[in-house]
Amino acid sequence: MKFIISLLLISFQFSAFAQSKEHAGNYEFFMGNNDSHFLKDKLTLNPNGTFLFKSESYLEERMERHRLQYGKGTWRSEKRLIFLKVEDSDVDATHELNLNNTRLRFDTKSPRDKTNRDIKTSVRVIDSEIRWLKGRTLIKDANTKPIINEEACCSSVWQVHSYLHGKWKNNNKPSNEYHYSFKDEKGSFDAYKKTENGTLEPINNNTAQVRILKTENGYEIEQIF
């Protein structure tokens, strides 16, 4: 009986290791036009069961042009699903993104597929508490290059939130600044004008409430009140 149990344990450990080895690696998402206008995510699944996530964006029009965010924790896999787990100790001043309960689906070309189809190994975020991350596909060992133009910046409302969140300048009116902040489904919008002494004065007395609508032509900002 002990011999049989030992064999079962060895078999289970080997299966888990093989699965981790297949899924482990670097996965990247890139969207943008050039080095001065892009969104990029990188997920590293280490063979020891830990992960590191890096989200980087550079948007020329945004006042806070360059933004870096990190997250870390542990991961496990069940067949084609990958689960991320984050403990309280994993979140700190540097690793502020909490990817706990994030689920990804692993996809790769089947060995039985003998066609010439180019199916890249990837993971797709199917569920996450970080809403702008949901729906993104990260390619394994990708040589990240711009793949879509600026007008097609986002594929979901939550990604539009991530894109807009922050401070923006108006190229036509350099003295004006626009501040967007999003939480849940709604956001706020404030417009400011820079005075001669460098301070910002609100153009409108009240903060506008806005939301993002998906239309046939893309996404639009609707002012609620």
Which of 129, 152, 175 is the last residue in one of the domains?
Answer: 152
Shared domain check, 97 and 34: yes
Both structure tokens of 170:
């108006």
Q: Is the pLDDT of residue 84 over 70?
A: yes
The confidence band for 63, taking pLDDT boundaries of 50, 70 and 90, is: low
Instruction: Decide if 109 is inside a domain.
Output: yes
Shared domain check, 179 and 139: no
Domain count, the chain: 2
Lowest average pLDDT, out of 11-25, 154-168, 171-185, goes to 11-25
189-218 burial, b if ≥16 CB within 10 A, otherwise e? bbebeeeeeeebeeeeeeeeebbbeeeeee
Instruction: Decide if 147 is inside a domain.
Output: yes
Burial of 123 (0-12, 13-18, 19+ CB in 10 A): buried
Which of 125, 152, 179 is the last residue in one of the domains?
Answer: 152
Shared domain check, 124 and 40: yes
Q: For 33-46, what is each residue's pLDDT tens digit?
A: 555 567 788 999 99
Shared domain check, 60 and 141: yes
Instruction: Decide if 7 is inside a domain.
Output: no
Instruction: Decide if 18 is inside a domain.
Output: no
Instruction: Decide if 202 is inside a domain.
Output: yes
Locus of tokens 């450990």: 13
Shared domain check, 145 and 205: no
Report if pTM > 0.75: no
Task: Count how many Cα atoms sit within 13 Å of the Cα of residue 37 in the half-sphere of its side chain.
Answer: 13
Question: CA-based diameter of the chain, in Å?
Answer: 85
Shared domain check, 210 and 125: no
Which of 152, 179, 209 is the last residue in one of the domains?
Answer: 152
Q: For 111-121, what is each residue's pLDDT tens digit?
A: 777 777 777 88
Q: For 6-33, what is each residue's pLDDT tens digit?
A: 433 333 333 343 346 789 999 988 776 5
User: Of the candidates 96, 66, 71, which has an alpha carbon nearest to the alpha carbon of residue 85?
Assistant: 71
State the Cα–Cα distance between residues 187 and 1, nearest whole angstrom: 63
Give the C-alpha distances (Å, rounded to integers) separating 58 from 51, 149, 217, 220. 24, 15, 25, 22
Best mean pLDDT range from 85-99, 161-175, 211-225:
85-99
Locus of tokens 């597929």: 113
State the Cα–Cα distance between residues 176 and 63, nearest whole angstrom: 11
What's the domain range around 82?
23-152
Shared domain check, 148 and 82: yes
Give every CB contact of residue 81 below 8 A, 6+ residues apart in sequence.
Answer: 103, 104, 105, 106
Shared domain check, 125 and 58: yes
State the Cα–Cα distance between residues 176 and 167, nearest whole angstrom: 11
The confidence band for 106, taking pLDDT boundaries of 50, 70 and 90, is: very high
State the Cα–Cα distance between residues 60 and 166, nearest whole angstrom: 12
Q: For 183-225, what is each residue's pLDDT tens digit?
A: 777 888 887 888 888 788 887 667 778 888 877 767 777 766 5
Instruction: Decide if 6 is inside a domain.
Output: no
Instruction: Decide if 10 is inside a domain.
Output: no
Q: What is the CATH number of the domain that holds 41?
A: 2.40.128.300
Shared domain check, 142 and 173: no
Shared domain check, 63 and 118: yes
